[in-house]
Amino acid sequence: MNIVDLIFARSNATHPAVVSPELQLTYGDLQTRMNAYAKRLSEDASWPQKERPRIGLNAPSSADYIVVALSILQQNACFVPIPNELTTAERAQLARSTALDAIVHAQNAEEWRIESVTHEAPPAFDEAALAALNPAFIRFSSGTTGASKGIVISHETLLARITAANEGLRIGPDDRVLWVLPMAHHFAVSIILYLYYGATTILAPASDPKVMIEMMHEQTATVMYGSPYHYTMLSGQPDAARLGTLRLAVSTAFALTQEVADLFATKTGLHLTQGMGIIEAGLPILNLQHAKDKPTSIGQPLPAFEVKLDDGELMLRGPGIFDAYLTPWQPREAVLKEGWFATGDIAEADEDGCYYLRGRVRSVINVGGLKCFPEEVEAVLCSHPGVKAARVSARAHPALGAMPAADIIPQDASSPPPVVELRKLCQERLSAYKVPLFYTFVTELPLTASGKLRRY
Protein backbone atom coordinates (compact mmCIF):
# COMPACT_ATOMS: atom_id res chain seq x y z
CA MET A 1 0.00 0.00 0.00
CA ASN A 2 1.14 3.54 -0.80
CA ILE A 3 -0.72 6.54 0.62
CA VAL A 4 -0.02 8.59 -2.53
CA ASP A 5 -1.78 6.05 -4.74
CA LEU A 6 -4.81 6.22 -2.44
CA ILE A 7 -4.90 10.02 -2.56
CA PHE A 8 -5.13 10.19 -6.34
CA ALA A 9 -7.43 7.16 -6.64
CA ARG A 10 -9.96 9.13 -4.57
CA SER A 11 -9.37 12.60 -6.00
CA ASN A 12 -11.36 14.70 -8.47
CA ALA A 13 -8.84 15.74 -11.13
CA THR A 14 -10.52 19.10 -11.74
CA HIS A 15 -10.87 20.09 -8.08
CA PRO A 16 -8.34 22.62 -6.70
CA ALA A 17 -5.68 20.88 -4.60
CA VAL A 18 -3.17 23.61 -3.76
CA VAL A 19 -3.38 27.39 -4.01
CA SER A 20 -0.41 29.65 -3.33
CA PRO A 21 0.66 33.13 -4.44
CA GLU A 22 3.02 31.49 -6.96
CA LEU A 23 1.13 28.42 -8.11
CA GLN A 24 -2.37 26.94 -8.34
CA LEU A 25 -2.80 23.22 -8.94
CA THR A 26 -5.85 21.03 -9.40
CA TYR A 27 -5.55 17.42 -8.26
CA GLY A 28 -4.93 16.48 -11.90
CA ASP A 29 -2.21 19.13 -12.19
CA LEU A 30 -0.66 17.97 -8.93
CA GLN A 31 -0.56 14.34 -10.08
CA THR A 32 0.93 15.25 -13.46
CA ARG A 33 3.55 17.47 -11.87
CA MET A 34 4.35 14.80 -9.27
CA ASN A 35 4.76 12.05 -11.89
CA ALA A 36 7.05 14.23 -14.00
CA TYR A 37 9.17 15.12 -11.01
CA ALA A 38 9.36 11.50 -9.83
CA LYS A 39 10.62 10.47 -13.26
CA ARG A 40 13.33 13.12 -13.17
CA LEU A 41 14.40 12.05 -9.70
CA SER A 42 14.58 8.35 -10.52
CA GLU A 43 16.55 9.01 -13.72
CA ASP A 44 19.11 11.18 -11.96
CA ALA A 45 22.48 9.46 -11.53
CA SER A 46 22.51 10.31 -7.82
CA TRP A 47 19.17 8.64 -7.06
CA PRO A 48 19.86 5.57 -4.87
CA GLN A 49 19.54 2.26 -6.70
CA LYS A 50 17.96 0.30 -3.86
CA GLU A 51 14.52 -0.63 -2.60
CA ARG A 52 13.00 1.80 -0.11
CA PRO A 53 15.82 4.33 0.03
CA ARG A 54 15.71 6.98 2.76
CA ILE A 55 15.50 10.39 1.14
CA GLY A 56 15.88 13.69 2.98
CA LEU A 57 14.12 16.78 1.66
CA ASN A 58 15.63 20.22 2.20
CA ALA A 59 13.19 22.76 0.77
CA PRO A 60 11.16 25.83 1.75
CA SER A 61 7.45 25.44 2.44
CA SER A 62 5.60 25.93 -0.83
CA ALA A 63 3.33 24.23 -3.36
CA ASP A 64 6.42 22.60 -4.83
CA TYR A 65 7.34 21.17 -1.42
CA ILE A 66 4.14 19.15 -1.70
CA VAL A 67 5.03 18.08 -5.23
CA VAL A 68 8.54 16.93 -4.29
CA ALA A 69 7.45 15.18 -1.09
CA LEU A 70 4.75 13.24 -2.92
CA SER A 71 7.26 12.35 -5.65
CA ILE A 72 9.55 10.81 -3.04
CA LEU A 73 6.74 8.89 -1.35
CA GLN A 74 5.30 7.70 -4.66
CA GLN A 75 8.53 5.81 -5.39
CA ASN A 76 8.24 3.86 -2.12
CA ALA A 77 11.11 5.83 -0.68
CA CYS A 78 11.06 6.75 3.00
CA PHE A 79 10.64 10.51 3.26
CA VAL A 80 12.73 12.35 5.88
CA PRO A 81 11.89 16.08 6.20
CA ILE A 82 14.87 18.32 7.01
CA PRO A 83 13.69 21.48 8.81
CA ASN A 84 15.12 24.70 7.42
CA GLU A 85 16.14 26.01 10.83
CA LEU A 86 18.60 23.18 11.56
CA THR A 87 22.26 24.09 11.79
CA THR A 88 24.84 22.36 9.60
CA ALA A 89 25.86 20.16 12.52
CA GLU A 90 22.23 19.24 13.26
CA ARG A 91 21.59 18.34 9.63
CA ALA A 92 24.67 16.14 9.60
CA GLN A 93 23.47 14.41 12.76
CA LEU A 94 20.01 13.82 11.25
CA ALA A 95 21.62 12.32 8.13
CA ARG A 96 23.76 9.99 10.26
CA SER A 97 20.94 8.96 12.58
CA THR A 98 18.61 8.02 9.73
CA ALA A 99 21.42 6.70 7.50
CA LEU A 100 20.07 8.79 4.63
CA ASP A 101 20.82 7.50 1.15
CA ALA A 102 20.38 10.89 -0.47
CA ILE A 103 19.10 14.42 0.09
CA VAL A 104 16.97 16.34 -2.38
CA HIS A 105 17.76 20.04 -2.22
CA ALA A 106 14.88 21.81 -3.95
CA GLN A 107 14.30 25.54 -4.11
CA ASN A 108 11.34 24.65 -6.31
CA ALA A 109 10.40 21.97 -8.86
CA GLU A 110 12.80 23.45 -11.42
CA GLU A 111 15.77 24.29 -9.20
CA TRP A 112 16.91 21.12 -7.47
CA ARG A 113 19.75 18.67 -7.06
CA ILE A 114 20.28 15.29 -5.42
CA GLU A 115 23.13 14.89 -2.97
CA SER A 116 24.32 11.32 -2.44
CA VAL A 117 25.12 10.54 1.18
CA THR A 118 27.74 8.08 2.35
CA HIS A 119 28.35 6.94 5.91
CA GLU A 120 31.47 5.73 7.64
CA ALA A 121 29.57 3.34 9.89
CA PRO A 122 26.60 1.02 9.22
CA PRO A 123 23.14 2.12 10.42
CA ALA A 124 22.46 1.86 14.14
CA PHE A 125 19.17 0.09 13.39
CA ASP A 126 17.97 -3.05 11.61
CA GLU A 127 17.48 -2.12 7.94
CA ALA A 128 15.43 -5.24 7.23
CA ALA A 129 13.10 -4.56 10.17
CA LEU A 130 12.64 -0.97 9.02
CA ALA A 131 11.89 -1.98 5.42
CA ALA A 132 9.38 -4.58 6.62
CA LEU A 133 7.28 -1.80 8.14
CA ASN A 134 6.59 -0.18 4.73
CA PRO A 135 7.92 3.14 6.10
CA ALA A 136 6.55 6.39 4.71
CA PHE A 137 8.17 8.94 7.04
CA ILE A 138 10.87 9.32 9.61
CA ARG A 139 10.35 12.41 11.73
CA PHE A 140 12.42 13.62 14.63
CA SER A 141 10.71 14.81 17.78
CA SER A 142 12.13 17.89 19.44
CA GLY A 143 10.53 17.21 22.82
CA THR A 144 11.19 19.50 25.73
CA THR A 145 14.01 17.29 26.95
CA GLY A 146 15.96 17.82 23.72
CA ALA A 147 16.43 14.05 23.44
CA SER A 148 15.28 13.69 19.83
CA LYS A 149 14.15 10.31 18.57
CA GLY A 150 13.57 9.22 15.01
CA ILE A 151 9.90 8.27 14.74
CA VAL A 152 8.95 5.83 11.99
CA ILE A 153 5.47 6.05 10.46
CA SER A 154 4.36 3.51 7.87
CA HIS A 155 1.90 4.09 5.03
CA GLU A 156 -0.67 1.97 6.88
CA THR A 157 -0.20 3.83 10.16
CA LEU A 158 -0.42 7.16 8.38
CA LEU A 159 -3.77 6.17 6.87
CA ALA A 160 -5.05 5.00 10.26
CA ARG A 161 -4.12 8.24 12.00
CA ILE A 162 -5.55 10.63 9.41
CA THR A 163 -8.77 8.60 9.41
CA ALA A 164 -8.97 8.88 13.19
CA ALA A 165 -8.13 12.60 13.18
CA ASN A 166 -10.75 13.38 10.58
CA GLU A 167 -13.51 12.03 12.80
CA GLY A 168 -13.02 15.31 14.63
CA LEU A 169 -11.84 17.69 11.92
CA ARG A 170 -14.42 16.49 9.34
CA ILE A 171 -12.37 17.80 6.41
CA GLY A 172 -13.95 17.22 2.99
CA PRO A 173 -13.86 18.45 -0.64
CA ASP A 174 -15.84 21.56 0.31
CA ASP A 175 -13.14 22.67 2.73
CA ARG A 176 -10.41 25.15 1.89
CA VAL A 177 -7.70 25.07 4.54
CA LEU A 178 -5.58 28.17 5.19
CA TRP A 179 -2.10 26.84 5.94
CA VAL A 180 0.73 28.82 7.57
CA LEU A 181 2.83 26.22 9.44
CA PRO A 182 6.26 24.88 8.33
CA MET A 183 5.77 21.78 6.19
CA ALA A 184 8.89 20.04 7.46
CA HIS A 185 7.20 19.78 10.86
CA HIS A 186 3.58 19.15 9.88
CA PHE A 187 3.40 17.68 6.37
CA ALA A 188 3.30 14.04 7.44
CA VAL A 189 -0.21 14.24 8.84
CA SER A 190 -1.90 17.55 8.09
CA ILE A 191 -1.18 18.07 4.39
CA ILE A 192 -1.62 14.37 3.68
CA LEU A 193 -4.99 14.45 5.46
CA TYR A 194 -6.23 17.42 3.42
CA LEU A 195 -5.20 15.76 0.17
CA TYR A 196 -6.64 12.37 1.10
CA TYR A 197 -10.03 13.92 1.87
CA GLY A 198 -10.05 16.08 -1.27
CA ALA A 199 -9.79 19.51 0.34
CA THR A 200 -7.99 22.57 -1.06
CA THR A 201 -4.86 23.71 0.78
CA ILE A 202 -4.28 27.48 0.67
CA LEU A 203 -0.63 28.36 1.32
CA ALA A 204 -0.29 31.80 2.87
CA PRO A 205 2.93 33.58 3.92
CA ALA A 206 3.26 32.91 7.65
CA SER A 207 4.91 36.27 8.38
CA ASP A 208 2.35 38.52 6.67
CA PRO A 209 -1.01 38.64 8.48
CA LYS A 210 -2.42 41.13 5.96
CA VAL A 211 -1.87 38.70 3.08
CA MET A 212 -3.17 35.80 5.20
CA ILE A 213 -6.49 37.55 5.67
CA GLU A 214 -6.65 38.63 2.03
CA MET A 215 -6.05 35.06 0.83
CA MET A 216 -8.54 33.68 3.33
CA HIS A 217 -11.20 36.06 2.02
CA GLU A 218 -10.37 35.68 -1.68
CA GLN A 219 -10.18 31.88 -1.49
CA THR A 220 -13.18 31.55 0.87
CA ALA A 221 -11.22 29.51 3.39
CA THR A 222 -13.30 27.40 5.79
CA VAL A 223 -10.59 26.06 8.12
CA MET A 224 -7.35 27.46 9.48
CA TYR A 225 -4.51 25.51 11.06
CA GLY A 226 -2.01 27.71 12.90
CA SER A 227 -0.18 28.44 16.13
CA PRO A 228 -1.07 30.96 18.87
CA TYR A 229 1.62 33.20 17.37
CA HIS A 230 -0.24 33.39 14.06
CA TYR A 231 -3.60 34.01 15.70
CA THR A 232 -2.10 36.82 17.78
CA MET A 233 -0.72 38.47 14.63
CA LEU A 234 -4.04 38.12 12.83
CA SER A 235 -5.96 39.58 15.77
CA GLY A 236 -3.99 42.81 15.40
CA GLN A 237 -5.21 43.43 11.85
CA PRO A 238 -7.94 46.03 11.20
CA ASP A 239 -10.00 43.50 9.25
CA ALA A 240 -9.49 40.60 11.68
CA ALA A 241 -13.28 40.20 11.87
CA ARG A 242 -13.16 38.55 8.43
CA LEU A 243 -11.67 35.47 10.11
CA GLY A 244 -15.02 34.94 11.80
CA THR A 245 -16.31 33.31 8.59
CA LEU A 246 -14.12 30.24 9.20
CA ARG A 247 -15.98 27.17 10.46
CA LEU A 248 -12.94 25.96 12.41
CA ALA A 249 -9.68 27.55 13.60
CA VAL A 250 -7.32 24.95 15.08
CA SER A 251 -4.55 26.11 17.41
CA THR A 252 -1.53 23.84 17.63
CA ALA A 253 2.28 23.75 17.94
CA PHE A 254 2.38 25.16 21.47
CA ALA A 255 0.03 25.98 24.35
CA LEU A 256 -2.84 28.39 23.79
CA THR A 257 -3.13 30.98 26.57
CA GLN A 258 -6.33 32.52 27.86
CA GLU A 259 -5.08 35.95 26.74
CA VAL A 260 -4.62 34.88 23.11
CA ALA A 261 -7.91 32.99 23.09
CA ASP A 262 -9.81 35.99 24.45
CA LEU A 263 -8.11 38.42 22.06
CA PHE A 264 -8.94 36.30 19.01
CA ALA A 265 -12.54 35.76 20.10
CA THR A 266 -13.04 39.47 20.75
CA LYS A 267 -11.65 40.46 17.36
CA THR A 268 -13.29 37.75 15.25
CA GLY A 269 -16.21 36.28 17.15
CA LEU A 270 -14.67 32.85 16.56
CA HIS A 271 -13.30 30.66 19.33
CA LEU A 272 -9.99 28.87 18.81
CA THR A 273 -10.05 25.07 18.98
CA GLN A 274 -6.93 23.78 20.68
CA GLY A 275 -5.73 20.27 19.92
CA MET A 276 -2.97 17.98 21.07
CA GLY A 277 -0.81 17.12 18.08
CA ILE A 278 1.91 14.58 18.83
CA ILE A 279 4.14 13.00 16.21
CA GLU A 280 3.90 9.60 17.91
CA ALA A 281 0.09 9.53 17.67
CA GLY A 282 -1.25 12.23 15.35
CA LEU A 283 -4.22 14.22 16.68
CA PRO A 284 -5.78 12.17 19.48
CA ILE A 285 -7.40 15.01 21.47
CA LEU A 286 -9.27 18.09 20.18
CA ASN A 287 -11.31 20.75 21.98
CA LEU A 288 -14.43 20.60 19.84
CA GLN A 289 -17.07 20.93 22.57
CA HIS A 290 -15.59 23.52 24.94
CA ALA A 291 -13.61 25.92 22.74
CA LYS A 292 -15.71 28.83 23.99
CA ASP A 293 -15.77 28.23 27.73
CA LYS A 294 -12.49 26.29 28.17
CA PRO A 295 -10.12 27.50 25.45
CA THR A 296 -6.92 26.51 27.30
CA SER A 297 -8.03 22.88 27.44
CA ILE A 298 -6.81 20.52 24.74
CA GLY A 299 -10.30 19.06 24.88
CA GLN A 300 -11.55 15.51 24.89
CA PRO A 301 -10.25 12.40 23.11
CA LEU A 302 -11.52 11.84 19.60
CA PRO A 303 -13.84 8.81 19.16
CA ALA A 304 -11.07 6.40 18.09
CA PHE A 305 -8.89 7.09 21.14
CA GLU A 306 -8.84 6.18 24.80
CA VAL A 307 -7.08 8.40 27.33
CA LYS A 308 -6.12 7.82 30.96
CA LEU A 309 -3.83 9.33 33.56
CA ASP A 310 -1.14 7.20 35.18
CA ASP A 311 0.19 9.06 38.22
CA GLY A 312 -0.61 12.25 36.32
CA GLU A 313 1.02 11.19 33.06
CA LEU A 314 -1.21 11.27 29.97
CA MET A 315 -1.55 7.85 28.34
CA LEU A 316 -3.06 7.21 24.89
CA ARG A 317 -4.42 4.15 23.15
CA GLY A 318 -5.84 4.06 19.63
CA PRO A 319 -5.08 3.82 15.89
CA GLY A 320 -2.11 5.40 14.18
CA ILE A 321 0.42 5.08 17.00
CA PHE A 322 3.92 5.24 15.48
CA ASP A 323 5.54 2.03 14.20
CA ALA A 324 8.99 2.30 15.80
CA TYR A 325 11.66 4.50 17.30
CA LEU A 326 14.63 4.43 14.96
CA THR A 327 17.63 4.94 17.25
CA PRO A 328 17.89 3.00 19.40
CA TRP A 329 15.58 0.67 17.48
CA GLN A 330 12.35 0.02 19.40
CA PRO A 331 9.32 -1.39 17.62
CA ARG A 332 5.94 -0.12 18.75
CA GLU A 333 5.16 -3.28 20.73
CA ALA A 334 8.27 -2.79 22.84
CA VAL A 335 7.32 0.81 23.69
CA LEU A 336 3.62 0.45 24.48
CA LYS A 337 2.41 -0.73 27.86
CA GLU A 338 -0.53 -3.07 27.21
CA GLY A 339 -1.32 -0.96 24.16
CA TRP A 340 -0.92 2.38 25.97
CA PHE A 341 1.55 5.04 24.88
CA ALA A 342 3.07 7.18 27.62
CA THR A 343 3.20 10.72 26.23
CA GLY A 344 5.54 12.19 28.84
CA ASP A 345 2.97 14.95 29.46
CA ILE A 346 1.52 15.67 32.87
CA ALA A 347 -2.20 16.41 32.56
CA GLU A 348 -5.37 16.95 34.54
CA ALA A 349 -9.00 16.29 33.63
CA ASP A 350 -12.02 18.25 34.83
CA GLU A 351 -15.60 17.19 35.51
CA ASP A 352 -16.46 17.35 31.77
CA GLY A 353 -13.59 15.10 30.77
CA CYS A 354 -11.63 18.01 29.31
CA TYR A 355 -7.87 17.60 29.57
CA TYR A 356 -5.32 20.26 30.45
CA LEU A 357 -1.58 19.87 29.94
CA ARG A 358 0.43 20.95 32.97
CA GLY A 359 3.98 20.10 32.01
CA ARG A 360 6.41 17.38 31.03
CA VAL A 361 7.31 14.45 33.25
CA ARG A 362 11.00 15.18 33.00
CA SER A 363 10.62 18.93 33.47
CA VAL A 364 8.68 18.71 36.76
CA ILE A 365 10.48 20.34 39.70
CA ASN A 366 10.08 18.46 42.98
CA VAL A 367 9.91 21.07 45.74
CA GLY A 368 9.84 19.27 49.06
CA GLY A 369 7.61 16.57 47.58
CA LEU A 370 5.32 19.04 45.78
CA LYS A 371 5.22 19.17 41.97
CA CYS A 372 6.00 22.45 40.24
CA PHE A 373 5.50 22.65 36.47
CA PRO A 374 7.92 25.12 34.83
CA GLU A 375 5.46 25.90 32.04
CA GLU A 376 2.92 27.26 34.53
CA VAL A 377 5.48 29.57 36.14
CA GLU A 378 6.82 30.69 32.75
CA ALA A 379 3.32 31.70 31.64
CA VAL A 380 2.99 33.98 34.67
CA LEU A 381 6.42 35.55 34.16
CA CYS A 382 5.73 36.14 30.45
CA SER A 383 2.50 37.98 31.32
CA HIS A 384 4.66 40.83 32.68
CA PRO A 385 5.02 43.51 29.97
CA GLY A 386 8.76 43.72 30.61
CA VAL A 387 9.38 40.01 29.92
CA LYS A 388 9.99 38.75 26.40
CA ALA A 389 10.65 35.08 27.27
CA ALA A 390 11.39 32.95 30.31
CA ARG A 391 12.64 29.49 31.22
CA VAL A 392 12.16 27.98 34.65
CA SER A 393 14.31 25.09 35.84
CA ALA A 394 15.28 23.34 39.06
CA ARG A 395 18.10 24.56 41.26
CA ALA A 396 19.32 22.45 44.17
CA HIS A 397 18.12 23.48 47.63
CA PRO A 398 19.58 22.01 50.83
CA ALA A 399 16.26 21.63 52.65
CA LEU A 400 13.64 21.20 49.90
CA GLY A 401 15.66 19.28 47.33
CA ALA A 402 15.01 21.81 44.59
CA MET A 403 13.52 25.23 44.01
CA PRO A 404 12.43 26.92 40.77
CA ALA A 405 14.90 29.33 39.19
CA ALA A 406 14.01 31.67 36.32
CA ASP A 407 16.12 32.74 33.35
CA ILE A 408 14.47 35.76 31.73
CA ILE A 409 14.93 37.65 28.47
CA PRO A 410 13.68 41.21 29.13
CA GLN A 411 11.88 43.22 26.48
CA ASP A 412 14.48 45.96 27.01
CA ALA A 413 17.90 44.64 27.94
CA SER A 414 18.99 48.07 29.20
CA SER A 415 16.06 48.26 31.61
CA PRO A 416 14.92 44.83 32.83
CA PRO A 417 11.88 44.65 35.09
CA PRO A 418 12.63 44.80 38.83
CA VAL A 419 12.95 41.36 40.39
CA VAL A 420 10.67 42.49 43.21
CA GLU A 421 7.88 43.05 40.64
CA LEU A 422 8.35 39.62 39.10
CA ARG A 423 8.37 37.94 42.49
CA LYS A 424 5.22 39.80 43.54
CA LEU A 425 3.46 38.83 40.30
CA CYS A 426 4.29 35.17 40.90
CA GLN A 427 3.21 35.39 44.54
CA GLU A 428 -0.18 36.78 43.48
CA ARG A 429 -0.85 34.00 40.96
CA LEU A 430 1.03 30.95 42.21
CA SER A 431 1.34 28.80 45.30
CA ALA A 432 4.32 29.83 47.42
CA TYR A 433 6.45 26.78 46.52
CA LYS A 434 6.13 27.61 42.80
CA VAL A 435 7.53 31.14 43.12
CA PRO A 436 11.10 31.24 41.73
CA LEU A 437 13.76 31.79 44.33
CA PHE A 438 16.36 32.91 41.77
CA TYR A 439 16.03 35.34 38.81
CA THR A 440 18.68 35.77 36.12
CA PHE A 441 18.43 38.08 33.10
CA VAL A 442 19.87 36.62 29.89
CA THR A 443 20.07 37.56 26.22
CA GLU A 444 18.94 34.19 24.84
CA LEU A 445 17.50 30.85 25.88
CA PRO A 446 18.41 27.42 24.47
CA LEU A 447 15.86 26.18 21.94
CA THR A 448 15.18 22.93 20.14
CA ALA A 449 15.16 22.80 16.33
CA SER A 450 11.43 23.56 16.24
CA GLY A 451 11.74 26.57 18.54
CA LYS A 452 10.65 25.01 21.84
CA LEU A 453 12.54 25.64 25.05
CA ARG A 454 15.28 23.10 25.58
CA ARG A 455 14.93 21.78 29.13
CA TYR A 456 18.03 19.59 29.36
Q: What is the pLDDT of residue 248?
A: 98
Q: What is the pLDDT of residue 162?
A: 97
d(CA 85, CA 283): 24
Question: Has residue 59 got a pLDDT over 70?
Answer: yes
Residues making up the chain, counted from first to last? 456
Question: Has residue 449 got a pLDDT over 70?
Answer: no
Higher pLDDT, 21 or 31: 31
Mean pLDDT value across residues 105-119: 90
**72-94 pLDDT tens trace:** 999 999 999 998 877 787 788 88
Q: For residues 183-214, b (16+ Cβ closer than 10 Å) or e, as one string?
A: bbbbbbbbbbbbbbbbbbbbbbebeebeebbe
**202-243 pLDDT tens trace:** 999 988 999 999 999 999 999 999 988 899 999 999 999 999
Q: What is the pLDDT of residue 110?
A: 84
Q: Answer yes or no: are the C-beta atoms of 397 and 403 closer than 8 Å.
A: yes
Q: Comparing 13-22, 108-117, 172-181, 396-405, which segment has the lowest mean pLDDT?
A: 396-405
Question: Has residue 144 got a pLDDT over 60?
Answer: no
**Domains of the chain as residue ranges with CATH:** 1-363 (3.40.50.12780), 365-441 (3.30.300.30)
Orientation angle between helical segments 27-43 and 3-10, nearest 10 degrees: 150
This prediction has a pTM of 0.83
Q: What is the pLDDT of residue 218?
A: 95
Q: What is the pLDDT of residue 146?
A: 39
102 band by pLDDT with thresholds 50, 70 and 90: very high
Nearest to 365 by CA among 441, 298, 431: 431
Q: What is the pLDDT of residue 148?
A: 56
Q: What is the pLDDT of residue 90?
A: 76
400 band by pLDDT with thresholds 50, 70 and 90: confident
Question: Has residue 142 got a pLDDT over 60?
Answer: no
Q: What is the pLDDT of residue 88?
A: 83
The chain-wide mean pLDDT, for the chain, equals 92
386 band by pLDDT with thresholds 50, 70 and 90: very high
pLDDT over 90 percentage in the chain: 76
Q: Comparing 145-154, 243-252, 353-362, 393-402, which segment has the lowest mean pLDDT?
A: 145-154
DSSP collapsed to 3 states, the chain: CCHHHHHHHHCCCCCEEEECCCCEEEHHHHHHHHHHHHHHHHHCCCCCCCCCCEEEEECCCCHHHHHHHHHHHHCCCEEEECCCCCCHHHHHHHHHHHCCCEEEEECCCCCEEEEECCCCCCCCCCHHHHHHCCEEEEEECCCCCCCCCEEEEEHHHHHHHHHHHHHHHCCCCCCEEEECCCHHHHHHHHHHHHHHCCCEEEECCCCCHHHHHHHHHHCCCCEEEECHHHHHHHHCCCCHHHHHHCCEEEECCCCCCHHHHHHHHHHHCCCCEEEEEECCCEEEEECCCCCCCCCCCCEEECCCCEEEEECCEEEEECCCCCCEECCCCEEHHHHCECCEEEEEEEEEECCCCCEEEEEEHHHCEEECCEEECHHHHHHHHHCCCCEEEEEEEEEEECCCEEEEEEEEEECCCCCCCCHHHHHHHHHHHCCHHHCCCEEEECCCCCECCCCCECCC
**162-173 pLDDT tens trace:** 999 999 999 999
Q: What is the pLDDT of residue 91?
A: 86
Question: Has residue 155 got a pLDDT over 90?
Answer: yes
Q: Is the dihedral of CA 128, 129, 134, 135 positive or negative?
A: negative
Q: What is the pLDDT of residue 206?
A: 87
Question: Has residue 272 got a pLDDT over 50?
Answer: yes
343 band by pLDDT with thresholds 50, 70 and 90: very high
Q: What is the pLDDT of residue 450?
A: 61
